[in-house]
A and B are shown apart, each in its own frame.
Chain A
């Protein structure tokens, strides 16, 4: 008895130890990438110079880790210590001070460094960028149905033919003189049948066409500046939120103001990446596009920038919702944890942005019917006690979960008021 108890205790404590270890490890690995993308990605890349140096091998470059920590937390303060490496680096990068991150812990920095190490050099292996969930391919059975329909139609026609032949034979046998056959196109029932078919087909296409009035999927207007999401969000991995600051907080995701662009582009004044092409195949001079930004910003290279000289950029609006629709980005991105790409498509692969979804009400509602809310993770939903109970008892299908519709997300006044 006694020994069993001891054994159990031994197992339990070992288990706890291991569990703790693994848990700690997983958290670390996950965090590195997130932390890097939130804090560093707007100025640094792993294998490429951006506003700041490429970070691959950063640990080896720095004489000791303590200095590196100090530098990351507050570069300006560290510069004052007179460290030669730091000062050289500062001068090399046009004396652009690195943002201070006083809140990062050593572990967090280590996590980021671990992530940096884990990113393979381009060419060495496939890039480990964010894998974006493509829209799930639905099983397409239309071909099968088509073939089946065809076979059935042929069978039906054959049977009809056989039937009519048999009738003819029977009639002949009984001596009934067949009526003079009416030609196919004169046959009134045929005419009626055909016109109904034509009406249905015509009606279907008219309705379909009319429903698309005012919708503008694939709308891709020319913008005042050729701004490439592919270059920024795709190749350079800048977090969406760095520019679209409102997306977590408010209705609008917000298009960044000129000063946000200039945070990086004061230092990045030329484009040296892969060649850019507009939608109609013209080559785009990236450096020239940056110059356009400078014009709006009132920035003269080599001189300090005066933000008050900036003028707003008049972008052409792509995603338009009618005035009687209320849409809130924070609700979807922050509370609902919906990825940008769900509605905007693979934005990180687009040159100039084009409208991916048709933004129709049917599209909204369909998604609300299928998408699950963060029912267990978000404390707000704790008030739906009955659903929680039903999920536990299995009364509600837990794989289907609690959809937006289930908590009233398809009701009129959720979006129209």
Chain B
């Protein structure tokens, strides 16, 4: 069928590997997958009798005595008297124990995501997407999911400060009235709220000569300025990845961190989902230096130097204009650019090019490419602009210069944190000393607030009123979901008060919207729905002015190219610019690409590792030594007069001459326990280049220091054996061409594999000696579309939040003790230097013939008639036989008392680290879901298919005396997923989404490790990659 060379290529593509050890079939890998437990068991000395053993007769008597005494004590104890205290005045609409959902908005710096906050008995405990929002819909991100934990952060400021001392609001207002004067500057991150702008205007009007500076830590100045030149608008348009058949990204991580990732992930999935009857999908070509989430999802990925970004854009412009490609040294990249240009031109009007660069010239060229491929007005929409980033770096540079020159008398800071994020943070700190009055509105004592004389902490967004306009014409409203926990005040109220306004912010907000929406009724409706959208989504282009392009091309051609090692500073999906550093859920979320937790590090390529670290990943022994031992070699990176020492991680898919370091780490210890000892600050490596901040450096010196530092990598945890060595029974992937050519390939493969037991049809009956059970009524099932899943990790955090999954801290992750019920496995295939990546979310598969169930000596895990593999914590005695016997390694053991559920406090002290202790604080525990048991030490736990949600939805249907419908049930991971990759429901109901999905995708569907006859209730849809059609028949 295929020419032999091609077949080798295909087989190579099909071989998936999770770790380097697996690729090499190394000794350590083989031992690991065969070993019963990851850790050594407490040794029992052999060749000695029972009485002479280390736990001899005397110990036995001790235990006997203790247990008798304990039983006697327990028996004589009185049952404690508990109180039941109802409310004094119960509001009519409130029923204790029933959650209410309030539409509000997640706001963090410029980002605004419409959400529903689940409020249980007065406490917000979970965040879901608001499906009335056309921007993010149901979808959320890991950071949005985790933001509810920030509300209960013990490091939040609890009262205003003057000179570091507690003060009252009266004192603060008096002080502010006295101190605000002279040249007043208000410094904020991007603000999309129209009413906040109104409040700011009132404040500025009160102080003549004052000005407002917007500054974003990760700025898009280059793009804003380029658009001003090309389109006459200093703005960012909306993008439509859903309408693009060909997507080209140059360094832009649009699924993870670029501009509006939830929206883009949603759109992207539209083009990637496959209809089996008419298989077709969009094509995504990616150029990058350091592996990103988006690059990992690309159909084809090419590695370039960071300094080549502009050159690639210029080359692509030439190619789409039909000219010769010049200025690209690498032949493969050159060929790729020509291919890319051809693809773009073939899909003219349905093509899109995006670029991360903050260089105005590069963005000018990108604008020209988009103009040439007809994106303007089709995939790029100028009728609606994206407002989430508005900061101009030059304004900030000017402000720092003014401050240093003593030209600023009062500085008010909200959202921005230049003492940490500004390239010359030290210069900013020095300049701040020359400002007479410094006021911060930070909710926590961040690096900038620490230096301010007055701190008036702002509410958390879940305690606030407000609005946001992430896209022009698309409004999202904020309403409080809890009474403010501390003595904090909305910063808009402070501004209005100091402006001498007669009304407070809530009145302003109500009046503003009341006037637009027709009074209180309209306002109430808007608040209830949480969003206000234009009746018709406007789509349109803008007139393009290519005047600046020629100059930009010249400027790029003459710009410096790196010859040595180059450094890229990137954002992690969970940590962002540093917003997630203090959040334990986000710190413990394994980075989708590197699978590391709790740290930042230097990313190096396998090629550089050979030279620099003397580690050859193709050498089994060296790969094992690197992979098995958590301590990694520390390297010193020196650049631009700054240096930092960080451990080096070898990540395939990195350009051989590039290293990457994540921003957002190394923060002030006042932000909470999570930031202590986790990572180092990389912002000093950023630099102001021309008018914008650059996040890459040309000449970085890297040297090995000889030290090592442990990194908590989860990639090699929970490995499972697959017998055949190439994981075909775990991960199935094929190209679009193959799929079109031979749609039933996977089905036939499965049929062949199951032939000895009657094939697909009879496998269930013939593959076992157990009887086949009836499943009347309900049979829960889940399906995960690997084409839609991009690995972003929103589901993992959502699962932790919903199911009270414990944070275990870095020392425990290092020992492989992380508790996540849902993990996202990363698989590589193909070329070690630039492999293809597939992500596979793996949770308990709820096997109908579950191997864990029949090894439990106390029947703590067993099967329900609805197909759920149940786990009963109170029966569990902690033998861990089930975890050992689980072929998927999805069961988690509570090695220590992570939750404080034990009665003895000393079970935690000195055993779990400060972060875990912090999670057990009375304040932090308010985030716990009261419908889910908090597990104690010594029991196994695992995915329950969100049983509490299933029970609740069944009860809802029973109360209404009707059958269940799909709209009743959404499990946490499914609900959080921005791409709707997860489908869940009653597989017995032929009208349910899960049944329809399974019926409509017979060819891509597979079970992981199907041949074991464990009969999972989770199905996967194989990954299809749209690479160039090689095998056209």
Contacts and interface: CB of A to CB of B under 8 A. Distances in A.
Contacts of B868: 413
A386 B776 CA distance: 7
Interface in B762-782: 774, 776-778
A407 interface: yes
B699 interface: no
B699 to A, nearest CB: 57
A416 to B, nearest CB: 5
Interface stretch (B268-276, B560-568, B605-613, B955-963): B955-963
A313 B988 CA distance: 49
Interface string A361-379: 0000000000000000111
Given A324-B873, A417-B932, A316 B81 contact: yes
Contacts of A413: 864, 868, 870-872, 944, 947
B833 to A, nearest CB: 47
Given A214-B79, A251-B97, A414-B951, A317 B865 contact: no
Contacts of A209: 75
B705 interface: no
B26 to A, nearest CB: 40
B75 A213 contact: yes
Interface in B747-804: 774, 776-778
B84 A255 contact: yes
A316 B86 CA distance: 11
A127 interface: no
A209 B72 CA distance: 12
Contacts, number: 160
A158 to B, nearest CB: 44
Interface stretch (B87-95, B151-159, B815-823): B87-95
Nearest to B935: A324
Given A334-B959, A411-B865, A317 B777 contact: no
A214 B74 CA distance: 9
B327 interface: no
B277 interface: no
Nearest to B87: A257
B776 A254 contact: no
Contacts of A311: 88
A324 B932 CA distance: 8
Given A314-B85, A416-B874, A257 B951 contact: no
A257 B85 CA distance: 9
B877 to A, nearest CB: 15
Given A252-B96, A259-B88, A316-B82, A323 B955 contact: no
Contact of A335 (B79, B81, B88, B958): B958
B81 to A, nearest CB: 6
Of the four ranges (under 10, 10 to 19, 20 to 34, 35 or more), the interface on chain A belongs to 35 or more
A380 B866 contact: no
A393 to B, nearest CB: 15
Contacts of A258: 86, 88-89
B84 A315 contact: yes
A417 B942 CA distance: 11
Interface stretch (A225-233, A242-250, A283-291): A242-250
A408 B964 contact: no
A205 to B, nearest CB: 13
A383 B778 contact: yes
A214 B79 CA distance: 7
A414 B885 CA distance: 25
Given A380-B963, A383-B988, A320 B82 contact: yes
A257 B75 CA distance: 36
Contacts of A312: 85-88
A382 B988 CA distance: 12
A275 to B, nearest CB: 28
A326 B74 contact: no
B933 A416 contact: yes
A307 B777 contact: no
Nearest to B778: A383
Interface string B120-163: 00000000000000000000000000000000000000000000
Given A379-B962, A387-B776, A413-B872, A328 B86 contact: no
- The winner among A213, A257, A259, A412 for most chain B CB atoms within 10 A is A412
Nearest to B90: A257
Given A257-B89, A258-B88, A316-B81, A380 B957 contact: yes
Given A331-B958, A413-B944, A323 B86 contact: no
A382 B85 contact: no
Contacts of B931: 326, 417
Contacts of A416: 872-874, 933
B374 to A, nearest CB: 51
Given A216-B79, A413-B868, A335 B959 contact: yes
B62 interface: no
Nearest to A408: B865
- The winner among A254, A296, A384 for most chain B CB atoms within 10 A is A254
Contacts of A379: 960-963
A57 interface: no
B638 interface: no
B866 A383 contact: no
Contacts of A255: 84, 86
B643 interface: no
B948 interface: yes
Contacts of B988: 383
Contacts of B963: 379-380, 382-383
Nearest to B92: A245
A260 B85 CA distance: 14
Contacts of B89: 257-259, 307-308, 310
B776 A384 contact: yes
A412 B862 contact: yes
Contacts of A249: 95, 98, 959
A407 B874 contact: no
Contacts of A385: 776
Contacts of B446: none
A102 interface: no
A409 to B, nearest CB: 9
Interface in B867-889: 868, 870-875
Nearest to A251: B97
A256 interface: yes
Contacts of B870: 411-413
Contacts of A250: 95-98
Nearest to A373: B958
B434 interface: no
B233 interface: no
Contacts of A216: 79
B83 interface: yes
B812 interface: no
B280 interface: no
B989 interface: yes
Interface in B925-981: 931-934, 944, 947-948, 951, 954-955, 957-964
Contact of A313 (B85, B774, B944, B989): B85
Interface in A377-417: 377-387, 407-408, 411-414, 416-417
Nearest to B862: A412
A221 interface: yes
Given A407-B865, A408-B864, A417-B944, A252 B97 contact: yes
| 6 tightest A-B CB contacts, nearest first | A251-B97, A335-B958, A408-B865, A257-B90, A413-B870, A317-B84
Given A252-B97, A411-B864, 6 more contacts: A252-B96, A307-B88, A316-B84, A380-B964, A408-B864, A417-B947
Interface of B: 71, 74-75, 79, 81-90, 95-98, 774, 776-778, 862, 864-866, 868, 870-875, 931-934, 944, 947-948, 951, 954-955, 957-964, 986, 988-989
27 contacts: A219-B79, A246-B97, A251-B97, A252-B96, A254-B90, A256-B90, A257-B90, A259-B90, A310-B88, A315-B83, A324-B874, A324-B933, A328-B955, A379-B961, A379-B962, A380-B954, A380-B961, A380-B962, A383-B963, A385-B776, A407-B865, A408-B777, A408-B866, A411-B864, A413-B944, A413-B947, A414-B951
